[in-house]
Structure 1
Amino acid sequence: GQSSRTGALSTHVEQRAYNLRPRKDDSVTIERRSELARLRREQQNQRRNKRKEAETLRQQEIRDYEEFTRSKLWWFDEELPEKSDKDLEDRKWRPYFEASDPGLFNITLKGANWEVERLALQAGASVVGLQSSTGDTYLFSCSGTIVEFFEESTMIVTVANLVRCPDAVQVANNLKISVYLLQDHKTLEGHLAYHDFYHNICVIRVQSPFHLPGKRFSSNIEAINFDKICSRDVVALGRDKENHALLVTTGKIIPKSSKFDCDELLVSTCRISKVEVGGPLMDFDGNFIGMNYYDAKETPFVPSFIVLKCLKQFKLFRTVIRPWLGLRVRTLHAEGSIAHEKMQTNFHGATGVVIEKIEEDSPAKESGLNEGDIINQIDGVYISNAAE
C-alpha cells in the first residue's frame, strides 16, 4: 500500500512540474475531440479540392491557348503565298521583308532626318524596276533611273547586265524588257537604246502614255573627292518589281577600292540586294552621285560624272569612245593604312593616283611617264582618285 501511494504521489508531482493535466476520457470531451478532428479533415479536404480545381483550371487554360495557337498557325499557313521557283536565282540574294503597300521603304533610314526621307521619297518617283528575258527564259532583274525625256521617249539608265548574254559579252537575242513603275503599278515594255559593257551601263527607251518624272545625275565631282572629305552619308535606292515598293539602304562612301577589275569604281557601305543593282546612289542633299553595282558585303558604284559622260557620248556617237593612253593607275587612298602612311611620309602628303603599269609604244610611254609616278593634276585640275 505504501509503494502505490508513493507512485501516485510521484506521478502527481511530475504532472505539476511539467504543467500536465490528466487526459479526460468523459463522453463530452471525447465528442468535442471527435468534432475537432472532423473539422480538421474537412479543412484539409477543402484545401485539397481547391488545389485540384486550380490545377484543372490551369490545364484548361493551357488547352485553350494551344487551340488558339493552332488556329492562328493554320490561318498563317493559309495566308502565306505559295512557294514558287520563279526568280529563284534573284531571291537568294534578297533578304525577306514585307512591304504590302506601294511606295513604302523596306527599312528605316537609320541616322537620317526627315528632310532626307522626304528627298528619298521625291527621288523614288524616278526609280523603276526592270526585268529582262529571252523568250520564256528569265535573264536578269535590277533597278534603273529615269534620266530624261528625249525624242518623245523616256530614257532609263541602268546596268548592262540587264541585256547581256549569260555566257558571252554580247546583247542577248530575242530580248524582252519589262519596266515596273510606281504609278498605279504600271508595267511598260522597254527597248534597248544604247549599251557599253566596259562601264556596265545601258539606256532603255520606254514609250509612256503619261509623263514620267526624271532626275539627272550630278556632275559635281566634289562628292567623291577624298582630298576634302573622308566619308559621306549616302542612300542607295531601288525598286522591287513585284510590289513596286521603293527599296532604301543607307551607308557611307569610304576610301576603299573595289575588288572588281575597274579603278573607276568607288565603294559605299550600303548593303543592297541584287534587285537594287542599277539604282541610283543619293547623297543627303538629294543629288544622284552614282549608280550601284552589286557585292555581297559592300556596294561598288560608278560615279555620276562618268554616267553623264557615257550618256553624252551615247547621244553624240551612239557609243562610248575611250581614248587609249596606255597606262593603268591606282588610287593612293585605296592602298590601305600602312601603304598610305608611307606614301604620305615619302611624298610629303601627296594625293592623286600612282601609275601602276605603262604599255609599250603608248602615248603615256612617249610622254616620259614612268611606273610609280604620282599624278595629282591634269591640265591644272587636282584629282584625288582614278575615277576622276
Structure 2
Amino acid sequence: MSRAVRIRGDELETTEREAKRRSVAEEGQGTALHSTSPRSPGELAVRTSHPEIHLAIFEPNKAQSEAKQDRVYDVVESVAEESSDPLSPPIYQPYIPDELVDDLDVLADFEDAKAKYEAERDRRANLFTMEHHCYKAPSSLFKTHRLLPILEQARDATLLAAKSVILLSSFVESDPLNKCSGLWFESDDHSKTALVLTSAQLIREKKEPKNPFEWKVQWTGNYHRQAKVIVHLLDNTAVPASLLYLQEHYEFAIYKVQVDKPVQLATFTECVRSGQDVFRLGRDENLNLSTTHGMVAYNIPSWYERCHYMYLSCDPSSPSLLRDDGGPIIDLEGKVVGLVNNHIKETFIPSFLLHKCLDFWRRFNCMPRLHLGMTFTSIKHLDPSCIERMTRNHNIESGLIVEQVSKGSNAEKIGIREGDVIESFNGKYISTTIELEQMLIDICWDHFDQGKELYAEKDVSVKIFDAIKHRRRTRNLTAIVSDLGEDIVEGTYPIMRKEAMPVS
C-alpha cells in the first residue's frame, strides 16, 4: 500500500496563514543580530563586527570541502524523449458532504466513486517506484551496539558537551505546556544576553489524543508564540526567555535570555555520516543529564515526518526520555551534529541545515525555503534490490520519488503525480532529500541577495520521469519562498446529488 503523509484538509483557512505571517513579521523586527559580511550559507559564521558577541563554532565537513561531492552534479543531458502525451489526471478522494449523508442515491454514487478511487490508488501503489513500501529486506543493517571500545572517549565527549545543554519549560497562562532541552549558541557580553536553540515542541499546541498513542505522532502546526518560557540554568536558578524566531518547517526555535554569568557555547560540526557513533543528550526536571547511545541513520520518513529528518538508531535497551527534544546529538569529540526534534521517533535536524538557517537569519532576519508542494523518498536510501530493479528495468539509478502532491499546487498543475521521479532540479542531480533541502535554502539566499522578499514566487527547472508512461520531460515549477511550515493538502472531492451536479 502507498504510504500516507501528514496532510491538512481542504478546509484550511487562509486567515490562519495570514495571522502567522503577521506574527512572524512582528517577531523579526529588530530582534536578530545581523552579520555584516556578505557570505553565503555554508561558510563559517564565527566572527562578527562586535567583539562582545560570541557565536557557536560551525566546523565544515572537510571531506566535502576538499573534493567535489559526487551526489550533486551537473546534468549531462542524454538523448531522452520528451513526452508530449496528455497529463495523467490527479487522484482525488471522494467524500459525502455532511448535508447529504442520508441521501441513498448520493451514498450509492459515493460507493462507486470510492471503488474507482481505491482501484486507482492500488494501481499507483503497484508502480515500480512504490514497491519499497511493502518490500522487506532479508537482512538488518544494524547489529547490537557495543559501547565498551568507545566508553572512555564517549564519557569525555558527553561531559564536554553537557556544559552547553540546559532545560526549558513553557506555560500557557499558569498551565504547564511542555519541557524541552536546549543549548547555548550565541552570547553578547555587552548586553549580558545569550541565545538558546531548542525544539519547536516547546511551544507546540497540545490537543486531547483520541487514543493513548496519538500524542507520539501528533503534529498540529499550531504554536503558542506568546507562551511564557523559563530557562533552567545549571546553577539551579531560572530566568525568563523571549521568543526571537520560530522556524515552523524545520521545527526549532530561538530564545533570548538575560544572563549574569558567561555561558558555554556549543561547538557544531557539519560532518555527519550514516553509521556514525553519536549520543543524544538531554536534561530531566532535576537538571540531571540523560545520555543515549545510537548511530546516525538515513531512513525513509513516515507520514508525519519531514523529509529533511535524520535518525538516531538506538540500542534496544535505551529508554525513551521525555525531555530530550531540543537537546543535541553529539559525536565522539563532543561536537554537535544535530538537534533532536522528536525523541519518540529518534529524529533530528542535521547541523549543516542548522548552520545554513542561522546564517540566513543573521543576514536577512528570516529562515526561508522553497515550498514545492511535494514530499519525496530518496531512491538512494531504498533497499539495494529495489534500486537494482529500477536501474535494470528503467535506467533509473538515483533521484527523488514523489510520495504526495499537494492538491491545487503548481506541481500538480504541471502534471507531477505520485510515483513520478524527480531526477534533477535546476540542472543538478539530487540524490537525497537532505541535499534537496540545502539547495532550496541556497536558492532562497540568491533570491534575497537580489533584493526580493518572502512569499514571492521562484521558478525551478525540474526533470521528471513519468512512472506511468515511462517518459521523461523537463518543466518549470513555480515554487513559493516561505518560512512557514509546508503543508501537503490531500486531494478530495464531494459526491453530490445528480440534479445538483453541473451539466458538462
TM-score by length of 1: 0.60
Query: C-alpha separation between the residues in 2 aligned to 1:192 and 1:324?
Result: 24
Relative to 1, partners in 2 of residues 1:172 and 1:351: Cα closer, same or farther, differing over 3 Å? same
Structure 2 counterpart of 1:354, which letter?
A: I
In structure 1, what is the Cα distance between the partners aligned to 2:279 and 2:426?
Answer: 31
For 1:146, the aligned partner's letter is W
Q: Larger Rg: 1 or 2?
A: 1
Residues 325 and 363, structure 1, Cα contact 8 Å, conserved in 2: yes
Instruction: Verify: 1:217 aligned to 2:284, yes or no.
Output: no
Distance 1:378 1:367 in 2: 18
Choose which of 316, 338, 342 in structure 1 pairs with 2:363.
Answer: 316
Deviations 1:27-55 (A, max 9, x none): xxxxxxxxxxxxxxxxxxxxxxxxxxxxx
Task: Choose from 159, 164, 171 the match for 1:126.
Answer: 164
Contact 2:193 2:256 in 1 (8 A): yes
Q: 1:210: Cα distance to partner?
A: 0.4
Q: What is the identity, as a one-letter code, of the residue corresponding to 2:288?
A: A
Write the distance in 2 (CA, Å) between the matches of 1:316 and 1:367: 36
Deviation at 1:116, TM superposition (A): 2.5
Letter in 1 for 2:199: V
Q: Which residue of 1 aligns with 2:352?
A: 305
Report what 2:229 is aligned to.
177
For residues 361-372 of structure 1, what are the structure 2 equivalents within 5 Å?
362=410, 372=420
- Structure 2: tracts of 5 or more residues without a match: 1-145, 208-219, 436-504
Selected match of 1:162 from 176, 185, 202: 202
> Quick one: which of 275, 278, 284 aligns to 1:231?
275
Alignment partner, residue 289 of structure 1: 337
Give the distance between the partners of 2:416 and 2:174, measured in 1 at CA. 55
Q: Which amino acid aligns with 1:315?
A: R
Measure the CA separation in 2 of the matches of 1:378 and 1:252. Answer: 33
Structure 1 stretch 164-173 or stretch 139-148: which is displaced more?
164-173
Question: Which one has the bigger helix percentage?
Answer: 1
> Cα gap change, 1:180/1:346 in structure 2, threshold over 3 Å: closer, same or farther?
farther
Once the two structures are TM-superposed, the CA of residue 186 in structure 1 deviates from its matched residue by: 2.9
Q: 1:124 to 1:361 in 2, by over 3 A?
A: closer
Instruction: Kindly indicate whether structure 1 or structure 2 has the higher relative contact order, using CA contacts under 8 Å at least 6 residues apart.
Output: 2
Aligned residues of 2:247 and 2:367 also touching (Cα < 8 A): yes
Task: Give the Å deviation of 1:377.
Answer: 8.0
Amino acid at match of 1:261: E
Question: Does 1:139 pair with 2:190?
Answer: no
1:50 is matched with which residue?
none
Answer yes or no: is the 8 Å Cα contact 2:246–2:254 preserved in 1.
yes
For structure 1, the 5+ residue unaligned runs are 1-107, 225-229
Structure 1 residues 323 and 255: alpha-carbon distance in aligned structure 2, compared to 1, 3 A threshold: closer
Measured in 1, the distance between the counterparts of 2:333 and 2:393 equals 37
Distance 1:134 1:358 in 2: 36
**1:257–1:267 Cα contact (<8 Å) kept:** no
Contact 1:109 1:117 in 2 (8 A): no
- Does the residue aligned with 2:329 lie in a helix, a strand or coil? strand
RMSD over aligned Cα, in angstroms? Answer: 3.3
The letter of the residue matching 1:178 is I
- For the structure 1 residues 160 and 361, does the alpha-carbon distance in structure 2 shift closer, same or farther, using more than 3 Å as the test? closer
Deviation larger for 281-290 or 233-242: 281-290
The answer (yes or no) to whether the contact 2:301–2:377 under 8 Å persists in 1 is no
In structure 2, how many angstroms separate the alpha carbons of the residues matched to 1:197 and 1:352?
Answer: 26
Structure 1 residues 248-292: Cα deviation after superposition (integer angstroms, max 9, x where no partner) = 110111232232331111211135412011111112233311111
Separation (CA, whole Å) in 1 of partners of 2:394 and 2:334: 37
Structure 2 Cα separation of the partners of residues 383 and 209 of structure 1 = 47
The one-letter code sitting in structure 1 at the alignment partner of 2:389 is K
2:495 counterpart residue number: none
Change (3 A) 1:139 1:110: farther
Q: 1:285 to 1:374 in 2, by over 3 A?
A: farther
